[in-house]
Amino acid sequence: MNAIISATELASDMAGPNPPVLLDVRWQLSVAKAAGEPPFDGRAAYEAGHVPGAVFVDLDRELASAPGGRGRHPLPDLAEFGTAMRRAGVSSAAPVVVYDGGQGWAAARAWWLLRWTGHPDVRVLDGGLPAWEGPLETAAPVPREGDFQPAPGAVVMLDADGAAALARSGVLLDARAGERYRGDVEPIDPVGGHIPGAVSAPTNENVGADGSFLAADDLRARFKTLGVSGDSAEVGVYCGSGVSGAHEVLALAVAGIPAALYVGSWSEWSSDPSRPVAVGPDPQ
């Protein structure tokens, strides 16, 4: 099953006999707080207009637990996550489509969590809400309660030790911007740089100007230049806090390459001064 769905395909599925459950996960990583600017309000954006039938899901509150030693977006409490998904109408036997405002990171986080907890049929709207050409609605639907029960472990997840080991035994991709990987700048976390052995692979290079993913063949070619191929060693991904990294895992899935996510990512890694940090363009 393809991990993404086009807006045309979504419109067709919504009109069919088994329409998907729609989740709106609009969110933006904001570094504006230091300047005193208000953070992005995903719920307000949702209330201003969303795909008909979509239910808003709050990334910070429902797709992550409170920031701390495990990173800025650690795994959510599974009971709370399950409650949020059932409230949104998610059931194991019903397909799910997730979208965000176009960047794709937040939608990918929801996609990865649902896959990791065992949902068999979840896709991301390619290009997000900007790709949707149908009508929007402002009323919030009240869906029928779903029956989804999270069963974690359906896909591989990495912890800090696993990520460090994979950087030596396989391919560990760093999905952040190149300047953060090199340690030139670090606007959010305690220190700049990367996990020793990780390869710089900014996730924004997996999409075109409109935010839609590159063709699968083009993605495979890109990842091959980074040392990844369908028959290569194991592949892992990390980012700042397990959000944009999920987007890279999604891009790898589009290319037909399975990959594990290090959820804690750099925000967890860099919080422990005993962990090694590499800087500059070289992986080591």
pLDDT for residue 185: 93
Taking the whole predicted model, whether its pTM rises above 0.85 is answered as yes
Reported confidence tier of residue 29, pLDDT bands at 50, 70, 90: confident
**Helices 244-254/105-116 angle, 10° precision:** 70
pLDDT for residue 40: 85
Q: Is pLDDT of 161 > 70? A: yes
Q: Is pLDDT of 24 > 90? A: yes
Residue tagged active-site, from 157, 166, 239, 255? 239
Rounded percentage of the chain residues whose pLDDT exceeds 90: 92
**87 Cβ contact list (under 8 Å, min separation 6):** 55, 143, 145, 146
Reported confidence tier of residue 284, pLDDT bands at 50, 70, 90: confident
Q: For residue 44, what are its two tokens?
A: 């307000």
Q: Is pLDDT of 34 > 90? A: no
Task: Reply yes or no on whether 239 is catalytic.
Answer: yes
Reported confidence tier of residue 38, pLDDT bands at 50, 70, 90: confident
Which one, of 264, 259, 180, 260, lies nearest residue 219 by Cα?
Answer: 259
Report how far apart the first and last C-alpha atoms of the chain are (Å, whole number).
36
CA distance 107 to 130: 13
Reported confidence tier of residue 233, pLDDT bands at 50, 70, 90: confident
Reported confidence tier of residue 35, pLDDT bands at 50, 70, 90: low
